[in-house]
Amino acid sequence: MTDDKREDHDLRSYGRRRGRKPSARQTTLLRQDLPRLAFDPTNTPEGLAQTWLEIGFGGGEHLLWQARRNPRVALIGCEPFEDGVIKVLSAIVDEDLKNIRLHMGDAREILRRIRPNSIDRAFILFPDPWPKRKHRKRRLVNSSLLKLLADAMRPGAELRIGTDIGDYARTMLEAFSVVPRFVWQAAGPEDWRTRPSDWPETRYETKAIREGRKRYYLRFLRV
């Protein structure tokens, strides 16, 4: 099956792509700034030591936090929802951030085109859980995605995943069990119950805390 046919058969793992109508400034950001900041293998920040990838950055809290604190790291952010992309574009322009490239669409499109063994760290933080049983096949984290990530990530790279849905955490671990190129970095319960200090809280995690849901912080090493 060709890449184009594979993309046609990918089950959509996200809901709507647009919220409210963008303002005049937001429209300018999308028309003028997104094209120059869009990820392209030939349009990457130069002279940076590592490349990190965030899949589904939502409102951009984590992506921007990492970019500000790691100016020598190139960050690729993938997000299909227009409102989230606009928020990150606004911050990039206002703060003149040089190390972020964006993809407003499905991350699998990027993973199929990126150079193999080129990602040093990847993040999937609190993806849509698709809680209804009939929709669970749309969950993003599955063995197909993990195989794409394993190809894109270099040996020794770290994959971080967060969720507040116990059933989703279970199915994630089941997916990893059939992709041996990842090893779960957990020696005990505290390794997945406690968020590392360099893993900032997102708005979705804040909501989970407010509603009393347990959080699961999973870290895997690409071997």
Task: Convert the pLDDT of each residue in 61-81 to its tens digit.
Answer: 999 999 999 999 999 999 999
Candidates 180, 196, 164; CA nearest to 66 is 196
Catalytic residues: 128
- Position 7 confidence tier, pLDDT thresholds 50, 70, 90: very low
DSSP state of 202: P
Report whether pLDDT(3) > 50: no
For residue 60, give Cα distances in angstroms to 46, 118, 145: 22, 22, 22
- Mean pLDDT (the chain, rounded): 90
| Paired sense of beta strands 182-184 and 119-125, if any | unpaired
State pLDDT tens for residues 24-45. 999 999 999 999 999 988 777 7
Compute the average pLDDT of residues 209-217: 95
* Domains of the chain and any CATH numbers: 39-222 (3.40.50.150)
State pLDDT tens for residues 76-102. 999 999 999 999 999 999 999 999 999
| Residues 146, 182: Cα–Cα separation, whole Å | 9
| Residues 220, 181: Cα–Cα separation, whole Å | 9
| Residues 100, 29: Cα–Cα separation, whole Å | 15
pLDDT of residue 46: 74
Beta partners for 125? 162
